[in-house]
Every structure is written in C-alpha cells, then in structure tokens.
Structure 1
Amino acid sequence: MFLTILGWIVFGLIAGFIARAIVPGKDDIGLIRTILLGIAGSVVGGFLFGLFTVGIRTFQPAGWIGSIIGAVIVLVVYNQITGRKRRLRR
C-alpha cells in the first residue's frame, strides 16, 4: 500500500513537471500542486483515452503520454479558472 502511494506521488511529480515545462509561462504552484496536477492529469488522460477507444468502463489511469497530455489540459484549465498567466494587451 505504501509503495503504491509513493509510486503515485513520484509519477504525479514527474508528469506534473513535464506538463509545467510544456505549457508556456511561469507557474508558481509549488511541489504539492505539481504532484496533484500530475495525478489529476493521469485520471483525465485515462478518461479521455477510454472515451476515444473502448468507451467508459472503469477507472483506469493513463500511461506516461496520456498522463502528460491530461496534466497539460488540467494546467490550462486551472490557469483559466484562477486567472493566472493572462497575457498583457499592448
């Protein structure tokens, strides 16, 4: 059980950092939110993968690519909701 939780934390951290590197601009969300971003990205990626391939059956986390894509989606939505990274109009 402990190793499963630790695996999710490490997996979420790596996927979250990669998503933050892909989305342009600076993200000051911290380590905990980065981990949660990666974990949420895995859930979103698994949902979207299931939706486009076999349909919704059960909860299934995505692999690395799906998790990163999901984390990018979650980060963009988070930035839109919180108003972060708004571009300055000139």
Structure 2
Amino acid sequence: MLILGLILFGMLIGAGAQLILGRDGGSIDWTMAIVAGLVGSFVGGLLFSLIAGDGIELRASGIIGSLIGAVIVTAIWRAVAARSKTA
C-alpha cells in the first residue's frame, strides 16, 4: 500500500511540475509525470528534508523539495527530447 501511495504522490508532484513549466500539447504526459515525480521526490525531497533537519518525515520542506526536484527533472527531460528531435 505504501508503494501505491508513493507512486500516486509522484504522479501528483510530476503533474504539478508540468503545470509549472507549461504543458506540451495541452495535456499532461503521465509517463513523464510518474518518472519526474518519483525521481524528483527522491532526490529533491530527501535532500531538502535532510538540509532542513526534518529527517525522513513528511513535512513541507520535503514537499517543496519534491516539487523543485520534479521541475528540474522535467526540464532536463524536455531539453533532451528537444535535442534528440533536432538531431
């Protein structure tokens, strides 16, 4: 059940990252949302939580870090995809 919750949280964070950066084609790419949300949450959320001294508990610092991490992962994903289209 925890894994399902983590995937759902990652989807929401990834979708939020796409909304912040603007959606390509007018809809959310759910594959990118899941991957960016999970990777961004792991790296950004964990890093921000540990820097803030919250540990691994669910706090606002972890959620903000997750969103920032997902925005970075989404931006990198889009840059790589755009570069491969032009090449």
TM-score by length of 2: 0.68
* Higher relative helix content: 2
CA contact (8 A) 2:40 2:71 kept: yes
RMSD between aligned residues? 2.8
Shift of 1:33: 2.7
Match in the other structure for 2:20: 22
- What SS does structure 2 have at the residue aligned with 1:8? helix
Q: Work out the number of aligned pairs and report it.
A: 77
TM-score, structure 1 normalization: 0.66
Superposed displacement of residue 26, structure 1: 1.5
What is the CA–CA distance in structure 2 between the aligned matches of 1:24 and 1:33, rounded to whole Å? 13
Q: CA separation in 2, counterparts of 1:33 and 1:39?
A: 10
Q: Does 1:80 align with 2:79?
A: yes
Q: Secondary structure at the match of 2:24?
A: coil
Identity %: 40
Q: Distance in 1 between matches of 2:51 and 2:28?
A: 30
Larger Rg: 1
Q: Which runs of 5+ in 2 are unaligned?
A: none
Gaps of 5+ in 1: 55-59, 85-90
Q: Pick from 3, 22, 36 the counterpart of residue 5 of structure 1.
A: 3
Q: How far 1:44 moved relative to its partner?
A: 2.3
State how far apart, in whole Å, the 2-side matches of 1:29 and 1:81 are.
Answer: 18
